[in-house]
């Protein structure tokens, strides 16, 4: 079979992307996109800001994160596992640490926060939406409009602090632990005062656990763990099996699961807060 190498388009002006060189891409004066390319970075920025704002409020709330006193074993994902002394009032304790004085949510958020912040998909999202670097394909990099400025040279992720993005593969192991904990929470959500039951909240917890697993297992680090470092996948049928199934559909739809799991975390916490604070009643289905 003849392999035809694609040559760079001669009709598109611009600087090639090279580490240590001037920022690549087309010059600002050239408009190569005719579509509404601004829409996606705006929507992504809006979505991420909503999540950051909501999560900050949820963490600072430091209350109504467990609905056990109303007969529902629903624990907010922002507070799970509940490790500190303040959780003892909730009756749902993993740790009982008395030395921790502020909201226990901060203890939890650091792990999934590190996992998501260094995720390849989210990196692309905030590089484009917040740093405009570049805001979209075939659009000038915001740094390239500032020749001689701090961002005029392209360094990729080779320097501090962006070189820290390499910890992503290690944060994946913590993410697996947290996915397991949220699975336990989903099982606990079936526990009702007089036995096993099913409430609307239970469905939210199950959906959340499924989406978290879909996002976590679709991670590029997981894909590499399954099939990376092999010369021939066909010689390792077990690893090939796992690689194939985390690649398609999980890795293939990683962006979709990133957003769906993010939204499910907010919705589940909001629901637990509404139930735990007595604002709404959790309808029991079975
Ligand atoms: S690449 Fe997105 S979670 Fe790893």
- Do residues 151 and 133 lie in contact, with contact meaning Cβ atoms separated by under 8 Å? yes
Whether the CB of 174 sits within 6 Å of ligand 1: no
What gap in Å lies between CA 101 and CA 86, rounded to an integer? 8
C-alpha of residue 192 to centroid of ligand 1, in Å: 35
Cβ–ligand 1 contact at 130 (below 6 Å): no
pLDDT value at residue 1: 42
Q: Where are the domains of the chain?
A: 39-142+155-276
pLDDT in tens, 28-73: 788 888 999 999 999 999 999 999 999 999 999 999 999 988 999 9
**pLDDT for position 127:** 96
Q: Which atom of ligand 1 is nearest to the CA of 121?
A: 2
| Higher pLDDT, residue 168 or 27 | 168
Q: Is the CB of 120 under 6 A from ligand 1?
A: yes
Say if ligand 1 is within 6 A of residue 221 CB: yes
Q: pLDDT value at position 12?
A: 58
pLDDT at 5: 43
Report whether pLDDT(208) > 90: yes
- Report yes or no: 179 and 209 within 8 Å, Cβ to Cβ: yes
| Of 158 and 146, the one with more pLDDT | 158
Rounded to whole angstroms, how far apart are CA atoms 128 and 121? 11
Question: pTM, whole model, 2 decimals?
Answer: 0.91
Ranges assigned E (strand) in the chain: 191-192, 195-196
Q: Which tens digit of pLDDT belongs to each residue from 84-130?
A: 877 755 555 566 788 888 999 999 999 999 999 999 999 999 999 99
Cβ proximity of 139 and 25 under 8 Å? yes
Q: Provide DSSP, 89-115.
A: GGT--S--BSS--S-THHHHHHHHHHH
């Amino acid at each position: 079979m003849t392999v035809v190498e694609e040559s760079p388009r001669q009709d598109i002006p611009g600087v090639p992307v090279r580490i240590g060189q001037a920022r690549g891409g087309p010059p600002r004066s050239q408009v190569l996109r005719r579509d509404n390319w601004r829409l996606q970075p705006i929507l992504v920025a809006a979505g991420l800001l909503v999540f950051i704002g909501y999560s900050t409020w949820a963490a600072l709330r430091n209350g109504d994160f467990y609905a056990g006193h109303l007969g529902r074993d629903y624990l907010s994902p922002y507070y799970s596992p509940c490790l500190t002394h303040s959780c003892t009032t909730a009756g749902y304790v993993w740790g009982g640490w008395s030395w921790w004085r502020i909201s226990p949510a901060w203890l939890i958020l650091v792990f999934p926060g590190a996992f998501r912040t260094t995720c390849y998909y989210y990196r692309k999202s905030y590089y484009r939406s917040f740093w405009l670097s570049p805001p979209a394909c075939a659009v000038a990099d915001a740094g390239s409009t500032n020749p001689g400025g701090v961002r005029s040279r392209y360094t990729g992720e080779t320097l501090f602090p962006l070189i820290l993005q390499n910890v992503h593969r290690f944060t994946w192991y913590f993410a697996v632990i947290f996915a397991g904990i949220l699975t336990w929470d989903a099982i606990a959500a079936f526990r009702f005062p007089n036995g096993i039951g099913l409430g609307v909240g239970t469905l939210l917890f199950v959906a959340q656990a499924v989406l978290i697993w879909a996002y976590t297992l679709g991670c590029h680090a997981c894909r590499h763990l399954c099939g990376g470092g092999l010369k021939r996948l066909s010689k390792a049928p077990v690893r090939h099996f796992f690689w194939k199934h985390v690649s398609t559909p999980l890795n293939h739809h990683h962006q979709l699961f990133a957003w769906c799991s993010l939204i499910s975390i907010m919705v589940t916490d909001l629901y637990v807060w509404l139930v735990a604070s007595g604002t709404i009643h959790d309808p029991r289905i079975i």
